[in-house]
Chain A
Amino acid sequence: MSINTAREGHTYPAITYQVSREAIRDFAVAVKAEHPAHHDREAATGLGHQDLLAPPTFAVVISQRAEAAVIADPEAGIDFSRVVHADERFIHHHPITAGETLTAATTLERIRLMGAGAMVTTVTEITHDGAPRTTVTSTLLVRSDGGDD
């Protein structure tokens, strides 16, 4: 594996994602989020939201689609066959609600070499009509083959 640290700072082409009510409900059920604002439109609008509200970690559905470009990037040289999720952060600038078409672009923020492996941090900016929705920061530990971990 030969990781190309010169790829740091590269921003990959944006993807678009349409947020459906079904996707929000399915995700909420999957993370056992029982708050009615994720399931019932009236409960969501009663709180002042446009439509069903996405749970706090729903943005990962969108960010992981945008991050796929990093995994597929031969120039980055990152072997993602042995990765461990190290940390994750969501900064919500504005709530994500059903019916929106969002754009997400991932930047390969940092590659920190650690022996034969590396810590790889990506930042994905999710926007709606150019206005920020959520910033997702994700760090993966890429393990080397034959390592003792």
Chain B
Amino acid sequence: MPLISDLEKGQSIGHRTIELSRADLIRYAAASGDHNPIHWNDRFATEVGLDGVIAHGMLTMGVSVELVTHWAGDPAKVVDYQTRFTKPVPVPEPEQGPPDIPTARLEISGKVGKLDAEAKTARIDLTVNLASGDEPSKVLTKSQAVVVLD
């Protein structure tokens, strides 16, 4: 478990690659209760102005914080987590094969954004980039997790 005295601003806490498939979107819809068809039906998604099915913003937010919970040692040490959703994460149908073939890739990295010695907290700033598709881009901004440390 990291100690606040060992940290400095700007320090990396690591990085992680997450791949998403159509099957992952269905799994998240079932587990979260968010059955909006833009996350599983291409025709519906295009009718509302998207290029196709996109991942739930909350799925991207959910998978991205895993880097922080592992680093913190106890997920409950994440006492505040926020993000802004800036770009959609398209998850196209794979051209062939089963629907659990990943068709989107996220590159997630985190660094210490702020330290508060009095409150014994570190703010971890996450960078979440879409690394697949025609338009690699930053999909989350102001993605910040506050972690309580010893």
- Residues facing B in A15-32 (CB within 8 A) are 23, 26-27, 29-32
Contact of A86 with B84 in the complex, beta carbons under 8 Å: yes
A95 to B148, CA, bound (A): 13
Q: With A47-B74, A64-B33, A85-B57 in contact, do A31 and B28 touch (Cβ < 8 Å)?
A: yes
Closest B residue by C-beta to A149: B49
Per-position binary interface string of chain A over residues 66-97, scored 1 when its CB falls under 8 Å from any chain B CB and 0 otherwise: 00000000000000011011111111100100
- A121 CB → nearest B CB, Å: 13
Q: Does A55 interact with chain B (Cβ within 8 Å)? A: yes
Residues of A in contact (CB 8 Å), total 36
Contact of B81 with A89 in the complex, beta carbons under 8 Å: yes
Contact of A56 with B32 in the complex, beta carbons under 8 Å: no
Q: Does B31 interact with chain A (Cβ within 8 Å)? A: yes
Per-position binary interface string of chain A over residues 91-133, scored 1 when its CB falls under 8 Å from any chain B CB and 0 otherwise: 1100100000000000000000000000000000000000000
Contact of B30 with A92 in the complex, beta carbons under 8 Å: no
Q: Does B58 interact with chain A (Cβ within 8 Å)? A: yes
Q: B24, B28, B59, B61 — which one has the most chain A CB atoms within 10 A of its CB?
A: B61
Further contacts, 19 of them, CB under 8 A, given A60-B58, A88-B82: A29-B31, A30-B24, A33-B62, A35-B66, A35-B69, A35-B75, A37-B74, A47-B76, A56-B62, A56-B145, A64-B34, A88-B57, A88-B58, A88-B61, A88-B83, A88-B85, A89-B83, A92-B76, A95-B76
- Mark A residues whose CB is within 8 Å of B: 23, 26-27, 29-35, 37-38, 47, 49, 53, 55-57, 60-61, 64-65, 81-82, 84-92, 95, 137, 149
The 3 closest A-B CB pairs, nearest first, are A31-B62, A89-B82, A30-B31
